[in-house]
A and B are shown apart, each in its own frame.
Chain A
Amino acid sequence: GETVNYQRLGWLTQAEIGKLPLEQQPVYPKVCQGAWITPIASTVKAPTPDSTPVEALAAWVYYNPEGESKLNGNVRISQQGRLIEADNAELSQGQNTGKFKGNILLAEPGVVMTGEQADIDLQSDIARLERAEFVATFLNAHGRADQIQRDSQGIVTIAAGEYSTCEPNDRVWYFSAHDLSLNPTTGRGTVKRATLHVQDIPVIYVPYFNFPIDGRRMSGLLVPRFGTTNDGGFDFAQPIYWNIAPNYDATFTPRILSRRGLMAESEFRYLTATWGEGEVNGAFLPSDKLYEDLDRKRATWRHRYRPANWQLSSNVNYVSDGAYFTDLGTDLVQSNTTHQERSADFSYWGKYWTGLVRVQGYQTIDPLLQDIDKPYARLPQLLVTAQLPNSSPIQTHLLSELTHFQRSITDNSGAEVNGLRWRIEPELSYDLHKPWGFVTPKLGFKQLAYRLDGDMHNTSHINATHFSIDTGLVFERPAKSFTQTLEPRLFYVFSPYHEQNDLPNFDTASTTFSFAQLFRASRFSGGDRVDDANQISLGLTSRRIDNEDGSERLRISLGEVFYFRDRKVQLNSSDPIATASTSGLAGEINAQFNASWSGSADALWTADGNTSQFGLQLHYLPNTYERLFNLGYSFRREVQALNQKALRQTSLSFIQPLSLHWQMLGLWQYDLLNKETPDSLLGVTYDACCWQVSFYRRQFLADVDNTSAAERKRSAFFIELKLKGLAGLSSGVNDLLANRVFGYQLIKPDTKNNSRF
């Protein structure tokens, strides 16, 4: 096309931007050679056009209050939040609409359009430009079009246009569309009959797609995903996005794995006003050649409907076999999960109480787990928790639960025990908090009852009371730049022993021993055990608080439990009775050395004084957020009493910019005991202004039905392409890094946050 005056559209090179006063300099990625600056900043609030006076400049003006007025020669019309320039203009009677001719420029907050001919309504948003060029800074995009039109609702329609987020003089890709419309109210852009051109070669044709224009995660036209794995061979997938309606969309992805066969993945998302939002997705690979020609399937349904202070939700997952995720999973985090949850909840939030009705079960996909080790299903669980407000120091808290537990044993790895469990745990505490410290005596009662299937008439139940007192003092020694505190803490808990050897264990586990565990009343999580305790915990915490910003520069804690009685209650009767008179020391250190470096360490010693476990972490995360470095070491000794297996692992991860465009990232976990690398990844990313390509090589150990280590070694190489501002597809690497690399979320803010909360 003819050369375009990008200068007039507001393109400034880095050098030119550097000369601007600081507050006018736009924020733009360093990898771009410049940025668009619109005459009216996108942050300017444009009042309704018909409420502000119109100022005009022109070499010659003919003004007629009864009829048309004419302005000729370097015409410039401006209102608050809008600017129009043209060679000449004709304004209608009453000056509310105008016909403009000759190198027109129309500027609004964050938007600039230039063209040859335009009709603009000065009182509303209605405008129409012919043969126009445009820049939309909120999309960081520019383009041209035969016609740009905006109606009174502000919907911009661009006919026969081109659109790209690349630098104007270096358009690596652009897409041309028969019809592109941007709707600020729905925050969606829709494109019809679009073709993606890369280096001017048409690459993909998409009949219709729809993308968010208000900063939400960019989805829409999806680019292909390709890579190879040492087991699956070449792996190519081309997602096809189909927007059925503004609140329904679907992605269908045919995928070829050279050594396994053809596979189909699909994802359907829905948002309804009447009964909530959710997504259904699934995948199917008929007769996998590398898996004895069995079908490989996966399905997920998540739903949430929260009209008021109650909510219905579901989270149903199914997978055909245990190796599915290691063989076919793109969400690489899943490769080390052992179970697939399937649950449906009804939750209710009252003023002082919450209620939950839940049906929950698990599909165990780890083939080595025997039925006796599989989780119970809750069919159903009724749970009510209540807490009086905190007006007075007297606190009351109530938990009551009635659940039917069900687990079938078919591999006779143990006796099948199912049944009903009822528990009610009211607590009364007195919270005395003062600057010098706190004293919190607490009295609790617990009733636990079972009615097991098979002998329905006989219920066993326990009524137990427990008493605890938690008290601590705060000593301070202020110094010039910091305040050092010394906080001794004492926690005594007493609860009598009740014989529980024949009680089943439906949902209880022993909590990980740590400094925090010293001050918990129970050594179990879940509801099947009533603690027998007569112990006192002593702890000491010292904090170094920076006087200037109040942040905790250093926190050191050390503590130990002294038992006055053996702990006879165990999870299963085969566990040894804990007879040690002390728990062994538990310590923790957290340090924020400076703005970038931080570290933490925790250590546990057994009663006989040897280290049972310790962990060290070091993090480097500067607040420029463009690089990070993490180093971690964790050591665990085999301790029968704590059912703790030996472990010695190091983990290292880094993101390091190599140059303006290139960046390297790496993750390496090494198991010192077994001398093997459970997981490692090396990636290189080339980041250009409007596109980004990453190459990753991942090596990890898959647990494949106890075969030899060599067989378990999996390596995968894949390429990830991203067209900035339009589409991007991660092949699961982002999720893996977000799950493994501390701080990664902060560096790549647009990664999908994989937290399930």
Chain B
Amino acid sequence: CGYQLRGSYHIPPALQQLQLRLNTSSNLAMPLRNTLIQSGIDLDEGNYALEIVSEELNKQTTSTDSRAKAAEYTLYYQVEYQLKSIDNKTVLPVKRLLLRRSYQYDTTAIVGKGAEEELLIRELYQDAAHQIVQQLRAFNTDTRAP
């Protein structure tokens, strides 16, 4: 039915080498670097840069129990990133990625649920890193600044 094993990461040649610009204390730094390296990209070189413009992580109560206490929390992680050439000649529009994960809350185990939240957050960063690298395939060098 037309499916075959993926042959390449579809990283455009111009991006085989890529600079990464984001503030070092961001939790996205480690997973994104790992995913880029795993996709065969040499980091901190090349004449294009992947810049993380903004990150935002927040938590919403998505359902409450019969005593109006939080029953389910959803974590939203939004990251905006942009691809540009080092000399800023080619600047692609900013892309926005919004990921969510939810978990059932348990008021009798809030410390354990806190640990689960940290686990979900790590997975959100991993998922975001994967999708960002996956979107690099759509980059073609002739796109000029908008």
- Give Cα A679–Cα B68 distance, bound, in whole angstroms: 8
Digit string of A466-510 for contact with B (CB within 8 Å is 1, else 0)? 000000011111000000111000000000000000000011111
What are 14 contact pairs spanning A and B, CB under 8 A? A336-B70, A369-B108, A390-B34, A436-B7, A473-B5, A475-B3, A476-B5, A512-B103, A516-B101, A615-B102, A647-B63, A678-B68, A753-B58, A755-B56
B104 at interface, CB cutoff 8 A:
yes
Known: A339-B110, A509-B109, A516-B123. A740 touches B61 (CB 8 A): yes
Which of A333, A509, A643 has the largest count of B CB atoms less than 10 A from its CB? Answer: A509
Across-interface contacts of B88 in A (CB, < 8 A): none
Q: Complex formed: what's the CA distance from A548 to B95 in Å?
A: 13
Residues in A whose Cβ lies below 8 Å from that of B4? 475-477
Interface of B is mostly: mixed
Contact with A along B120-146 (1 / 0, CB 8 A): 110100000001001111110000000
Residue interface mask A639-668, B partner, CB < 8 A = 1: 000011101010100000000000000000
Q: How many of chain A's residues touch chain B, expressed as a range?
A: 35 or more
Residues of B within 8 A of A359 (CB): none
Q: For the complex, is A634 an interface residue (Cβ under 8 Å from B)?
A: yes
A24 / chain B contacts, CB cutoff of 8 Å: none
- Taken residue by residue from 89 to 104, chain B's Cβ proximity to chain A (1 for < 8 Å, 0 otherwise) reads as 0000001000011111
B92 to chain A: closest residue by CB: A549
Contacts of B38 in A (CB 8 A): 431, 433
Given contacts A473-B5, A476-B4, A550-B134, contact A745 B58 (CB under 8 A): yes
Say whether B62 contacts A651, CB under 8 Å: yes
Which chain B positions have C-beta within 8 A of A376? 111
Q: Are A756 and B59 in contact (CB under 8 A)?
A: yes
Q: Per-residue CB proximity of A723-757 to B under 8 Å, as 1/0? A: 00000000000000011101001000000011111
Cross-chain contact B1 with A525 (CB below 8 angstroms): no
- In chain B, what residue has the closest Cβ to A377? B111
**Interface presence of A21 (CB below 8 A):** no
Q: Smallest CB-CB separation from B70: which chain A residue?
A: A336
**In chain B, what residue has the closest Cβ to A372?**
B108
Are A336 and B138 within 8 A (Cβ)? no
Surface stretch bound by B, among A107-115, A143-151, A268-276, A695-703: A695-703
Provide the bound-state CA to CA distance between A212 and B8, in Å: 51
Q: Which residues of A contact B115 (CB under 8 A)?
A: 507-509, 525-526
Task: List, in ascending order, chain B residues with CB within 8 A of A433's CB.
Answer: 38-39
| A435 sits at the interface (CB 8 A) | yes
Residues A647 and B65 in contact in the complex (CB < 8 Å), given A390-B33, A600-B100: yes
The answer to whether residues A435 and B7 also contact, given A525-B113, A634-B72 and a CB cut-off of 8 A, is: yes
Closest Cβ neighbor of A393 among chain B residues: B38
A645 CA to B71 CA, complexed, in Å:
10
Give the distance in Å from the alpha carbon of A447 to the alpha carbon of B5 in the complex: 41
Kindly state whether residue A551 has any CB partner on chain B within 8 Å: yes
Q: Least Cβ distance of B95 to chain A in Å?
A: 8
Q: For residue B101, which residues in chain A have a CB less than 8 angstroms away from its CB? A: 516
> Does B86 count as interface, using CB distance less than 8 angstroms?
no
The residues of B that contact A702 with a CB separation of less than 8 Å are 68
**Given the interface contacts A336-B68, A516-B123, A550-B137, does A755 sit within 8 Å of B6 by beta carbon?**
no
Assess the B6–A475 pair: CB atoms within 8 A: yes
Cβ of A229 < 8 Å from any Cβ of B? no
Residues of B with Cβ closer than 8 Å to A?
Answer: 1-9, 33-34, 37-39, 56-72, 76, 78, 95, 100-104, 106-113, 115-116, 119-121, 123, 131, 134-139
B134–A366 touching, CB < 8 Å: no
A254 close to B (CB within 8 Å): no
Closest B residue by C-beta to A646: B66
Q: A435-B9, A550-B136 are in contact. List 8 more A-B contacts (CB 8 A).
A: A433-B39, A435-B5, A436-B6, A475-B3, A509-B109, A509-B112, A550-B134, A669-B63
Interface centre among B3, B38, B104 (most CB of A within 10 A): B104
Instruction: Enumerate A609-635 residues with CB–CB distance to B below 8 Å.
Output: 615, 632, 634
Decide: A435 and B6 in contact? CB cutoff 8 A.
yes
A708 at the interface (CB under 8 A from B): no
Smallest CB gap from A615: residue in B = B102
What residues of chain B lie closer than 8 Å to A545, measured between beta carbons?
134, 137
Known A474-B6, A703-B68: A757·B135 in contact at CB below 8 Å:
no
Contact (Cβ within 8 A) A366 B69 = yes
Asked if residues A757 and B6 are in contact (CB atoms below 8 Å), the reply is: no
Q: Which residues of A contact B8 (CB under 8 A)?
A: 435
**Contacts A369-B107, A644-B104 given: A632-B66 contact, CB under 8 Å?**
no
Are B60 and A739 in contact, CB atoms less than 8 angstroms apart?
A: yes
**A526 and B111 contacting across the interface, CB-CB below 8 Å:** yes
Residue numbers in A under 8 Å from B112 (CB-CB): 507-510, 524-526
Contact partner, A511, options B2, B107, B119, B135, Cβ 8 Å: B119
The answer to whether B138 and A755 have CB atoms under 8 Å apart is no
Q: Judge whether A373 is part of the interface by a CB distance below 8 angstroms.
A: yes
User: What residues on B are CB-neighbors of A615 within 8 Å?
Assistant: 102
Expressed in whole angstroms, the Cα–Cα distance for A30 and B97 within the complex equals 28
User: Residue among B1, B64, B65, B72 with the most chain A CB within 10 A?
Assistant: B64
Residue A337, interface by CB 8 Å: yes
